[in-house]
């Protein structure tokens, strides 16, 4: 899809004598209009300035839509609340990749395709053994996903639609295998091969928790909970890691390298690393005395000089409750009651913290609500997933969104290499002084 100008124009005038110019305005199907500033530099010699992309649409897209004020998230037009209840993760993957939900036949075909690509090249095992046992799983994933491009040369031509499709399937299929391998390696257990008679999510749980001495029997509530985590994390518009994938891909880099770049960006605590950070924060408060210490902790969060944040709270786009957090909260209840952990002290602490924060003026004024990561860590911990793997689970789920966005970018006739400019504030031209004359 490309952009179509509307009848509306934006007129930009300057107080420095530069003549005013008209800029085209485009309307999306929903959401804010955009002002096309591409001709600005050519006509005026000026750039726009928007660090953090607070007011910048970096592309046009028809995949995911967020209304941050309403707290609405749509994948290809479908509300996340309906997808989370009526669909499974692989149907959601099909939707994100192809634009429509699969019918029964298409679903069977897609599931078969993904299922038959879950094994990784046997030599990847040697590659894994090069990592220290205590390596962070995200470090292992950045390396191993990037390394896939050294193993699958036959799907690297980004200009060939078939190659792009094969790479997409390989990435979606192999990420669970790699995440489970990263876990097994860290605890010194043998890698578990995928099994084709299990669903995508049940197979992942078995690769995580089975050992040669004892098979793993999955529990439907737990599988469904993890599948929901995957659905909720599958895509989220032009966030930092997705923009990283698009920017990396804009130079023509191969899909495995681009997804590795996305994983690196996701790792940060302001983004995907927040689920790990949120749980560690709850552990800290619990260690220091639990619910009684919440007041003291909130005071530190509000102190401008402390750089302590309430992890799992706040979002660049949502200025209302994150719809994913609502669903995750519900899943949290389901999983904890299935496991007989209604009284889980960490969950109670999270609820108490949420209540206090939602009533506190600091958070209310800034429209800071819990985001998906506030609850996803508690669910993952209850499922037996170690804290250091939480962001790896996020990467597994987000891979489909990254690849759908990357594919959309490659197919867009308006696609160009991403090359921002800058407001230069350093020294103007000067001559190099001889060594003896330097201060
Ligand atoms: N705790 C305390 N204060 C906060 C928080 C927080 N979690 N988030 C934002 N604020 C304050 C911030 O200090 C600022 O205050 P002031 O106006 O007085 O300077 C105001 O709220 C606006 O925040 P901002 O940093 O300008 O907002 P942003 O859009 O640049 O940052 C964010 C968004 C998600 C990075 C930030 O809210 C944050 O760091 N949250 C904690 C980390 C987190 O949970 N991240 C997961 C995001 S959801 C999963 C994902 O998509 O990756």
Tell me the whole-structure pTM to 2 decimals: 0.93
pLDDT digits (tens, 9 = 90+) for 107-143: 999 999 999 999 999 999 999 999 999 999 999 999 9
Residue 6 has pLDDT above 80, yes or no: no
pLDDT band at 2 (very low <50, low <70, confident <90, very high): low
> For the stretch 210-232, what's the b/e string if a residue is b when 16 or more beta carbons lie within 10 angstroms of its beta carbon?
beeeeeeebeeebbbbbbbbbbb
> For the stretch 76-112, what's the b/e string if a residue is b when 16 or more beta carbons lie within 10 angstroms of its beta carbon?
bebebeebbeebbbbbbbbbbbeeebbeeeebeebbe
Q: What is the mean pLDDT of the chain?
A: 94
Average pLDDT over residues 56-74: 96
Whole-angstrom distance, CA of residue 255 vs CA of residue 408: 13
236 flagged as catalytic: no
Residue bearing the CA closest to ligand 1, atom 30: 316
Ligand 1 mutation target, pool 51, 242, 266, 314, most atoms within 8 A of CB: 314
Ligand 1 binding site (Cβ under 6 Å of any ligand atom): 236, 239, 270-272, 274, 301, 309-316, 366, 368, 371-373
162 flagged as catalytic: no
φ/ψ of 211, rounded to 5, equals: -130, 160
Percent of the residues in the chain that have a pLDDT greater than 70, as a whole number:
99
Q: What is the pLDDT of residue 4?
A: 67
Residue 1 has pLDDT above 70, yes or no: no
Residue bearing the CA closest to ligand 1, atom 40: 314
């Amino acid at each position: 899809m490309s952009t179509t100008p509307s009848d509306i124009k934006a007129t930009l005038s300057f107080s420095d004598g530069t003549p005013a110019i008209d800029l085209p305005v485009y309307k999306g199907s929903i959401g804010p209009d955009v002002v096309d500033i591409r001709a600005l530099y050519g006509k005026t010699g000026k750039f726009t300035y928007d660090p953090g992309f607070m007011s910048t649409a970096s592309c046009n897209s028809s995949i995911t839509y967020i209304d941050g004020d309403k707290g609405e998230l749509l994948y290809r037009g479908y509300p996340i609340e309906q997808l989370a209840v009526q669909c499974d993760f692989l149907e959601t993957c099909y939707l994100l990749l192809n634009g429509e939900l699969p019918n029964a036949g298409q679903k069977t075909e897609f599931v078969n395709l993904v299922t038959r690509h879950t094994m990784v090249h046997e030599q990847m095992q040697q590659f894994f053994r090069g990592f220290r046992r205590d390596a962070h799983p995200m470090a292992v994933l950045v390396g191993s996903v990037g390394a896939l491009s050294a193993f699958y040369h036959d799907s690297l031509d980004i200009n060939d639609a078939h190659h792009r499709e094969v790479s997409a399937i390989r990435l979606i299929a192999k990420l669970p295998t790699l995440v489970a391998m990263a876990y097994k390696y860290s605890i010194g257990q043998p890698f578990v091969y995928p099994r084709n008679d299990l669903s995508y999510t049940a197979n992942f749980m078995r690769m995580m928790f089975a050992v040669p001495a004892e098979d793993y029997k999955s529990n439907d509530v737990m599988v469904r909970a993890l599948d929901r985590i995957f659905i909720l994390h599958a895509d989220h518009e032009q966030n930092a890691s997705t923009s990283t994938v698009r920017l990396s891909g804009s130079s023509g880099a191969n899909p495995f390298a681009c997804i590795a770049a996305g994983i690196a960006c996701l790792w940060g605590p302001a983004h995907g690393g927040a689920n790990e950070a949120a749980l560690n924060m709850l552990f800290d408060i619990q260690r220091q005395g639990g619910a009684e210490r919440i007041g003291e902790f909130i005071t530190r969060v509000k102190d401008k000089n402390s750089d302590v944040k309430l992890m799992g709270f706040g979002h660049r786009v949502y200025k209302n409750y994150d719809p994913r957090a609502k669903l995750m909260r519900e899943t949290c209840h389901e999983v904890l009651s299935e496991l007989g952990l209604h009284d889980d002290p960490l969950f109670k602490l999270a609820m108490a913290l949420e209540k206090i924060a939602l009533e506190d003026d600091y958070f209310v004024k800034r429209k800071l609500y819990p985001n998906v990561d506030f609850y996803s860590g508690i669910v993952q911990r209850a499922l037996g997933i170690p804290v250091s793997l939480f962001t790896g689970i996020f990467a597994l789920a987000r891979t489909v969104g990254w690849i759908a966005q990357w594919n959309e970018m490659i197919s867009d006739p308006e696609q160009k290499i991403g090359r921002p400019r800058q407001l230069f504030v350093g020294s103007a031209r000067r001559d190099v002084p001889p060594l003896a004359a330097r201060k």
